[in-house]
Amino acid sequence: MDNISGVISGLFESATPYKNQKYSQLKKDCVGANRLFEDPVFPPVASSLSYTGYAPRDIVWKRPGEIVSDPKFFDAGASADDFAQGSLGNCWFVAACACIAEDKSLLKKIVPDFEEQEWSKDHKYAGIFHFHFWQMGEWIDVVIDDRLPTRNGELVYVQSRSKNEFWSALLEKAYAKIFGDYDSLKGGQAKDAMVDMTGGVGEGLELKDYTKTPEDRLKLFKILRKSKEHHSLISAAIPVTSASDMEAQLSCGLIKGHAYSVTAVKKVRLGKGLMSHFNKEKILMIRCRNPWGGTEWKGAWSDGSPEWQQISSSEKKDMGLTFDEDGDFWMTFDDFLTYFTSMDICHILNTSLITFHKSWKEGKAFGEWKKEKCGGCPNFQTFLNNPQFVFDVELEEDEVMVSLEQWDKRIDKELGKENDTIGFYIMKADVNRKYRMHDKLEKVHSGTYSNARNQFSRLDLPQGRYCVIPSTFEPNYPGRFLLRVYADKSPDLNF
């Protein structure tokens, strides 16, 4: 893309004040009254730490100026090093943030007017900060005060490697505020946090689907490399087989149940000196980052391993190679596929993603499964009572992406609610169809149903009219959803 920053900027709309808290007015009031902001919506109490109302007694809420003598919002800019996971099991969020921190275009949208939020006399520090998040099709502006949970004078949760830098801890607090408390951030999928910070579309990949043949592996590598080239955010994880496996470290240095951010995907040329320019042999490599920081891959091509002697200094420079104990490490793509089993990708669409020559057009529909329109999956006779949406494929054949997202129920965790099991069904429709379907026609696609926040499918569809029906698995589970369909030509959603 010639102007990727401009395209990305177009994805972000003006943000709606969350809980009607208007940052500019609140800060102005605090500065005028010469007082520091105290957030009444998310106060420094036990219920802000856990929806159960229980919190360790040794937690003390402190402002950054009470933790260090010279606090900064950014210290030498933003980077993945600014996100070291604390005592909260939210590596999915940390991995997503590490990806965001590497993309300055996205960062400026999530952290609005960050220059003004820096500590200085000119910017009139008032203990108030704000961040933008995307929630079900809408950008919201979340205001917080800067009182942070500490233990023995140190941050309990996310923290930067620089003790003076606090933007990452403040971002985490703003995200916790949306879901009601810090504890609600335990467990999740990195793609959900990525979507919340970009408005992009989340896609989950099971790597076993791409490891059957060398051609499959190469196809996956190309998908990941193109995705990184076009500003997609990527994370990867190693599964756990039991509760005792969670965050267990393997002998190779990798950690089970962890969400690693993928920060680079490259073909690396082997050889040194003049011969490297004529050597056609290349190795497929991938760079990952551990949200904990120091613990890294210990196998071939790990930091300081002898394999690095096989490539030139210029190639190392081009890779941005360092051997710091910072959680960043390179490994071969084959080794990566040996250990990692699933990946999350957040596509920043309406840019040329997935393929070089495609500009995605979006069809978007906000909906609600109400009692009379909540018919359950195709197993039930009431299935066709669900909301229905028709879209057209205008090209002879087109790659179509369908994303169904439900309202994240972790917001209502204190009510004992969990995400519903959702999915969608696509069938062929009559070319002149203008009204609801009352009979099932030719099935085109029926994805799996799960309680994940998002369901995603990528399909090659011939020219024609189609009907997509989003549903919960069982009838009578009301809720809100966002359906998005992407194609080369505008796939307007009707009904």
| Among 309, 345, 302, residue whose Cα is nearest residue 99 | 345
8-state DSSP, 117: H
| Residue 258 bears catalytic tag | yes
Set 130, 132, 230, 258: catalytic member: 258
For residue 118 the two structure tokens come to 């820096």
Amino acid type, 145: D
Contact in structure between 140 and 132 (CB atoms under 8 Å): yes
φ, ψ of residue 304 to 5 degrees: the values are 75, 5
Considering 91, 99, 374, 377, which one is annotated as catalytic? 91
Active site residue 123: no
What is each CA distance from 127 to 114, 118, 124, 290, in whole angstroms?
14, 11, 9, 31
Report whether 84 contacts 169 (CB < 8 A): no
The answer to whether 467 and 389 are in contact (CB under 8 A) is yes
Opening angle at CA 378, ends 376 and 381, nearest 5: 75
SS3 446: strand
Active-site option among 90, 99, 231, 290 = 290
Torsion (CA) 137, 141, 262, 488 in degrees, nearest 10: 30
Interatomic CA distance for residues 398 and 485, integer angstroms: 12
Q: Decide if 277 is catalytic.
A: no
- Per DSSP, the residues of 275-325 read HHHH---EEEEEEEE-TTSS----STT-TT-GGGGGB-HHHHHHHT----S
CB 463 within 8 A of CB 391: no
Active site (catalytic) residues: 91, 258, 290
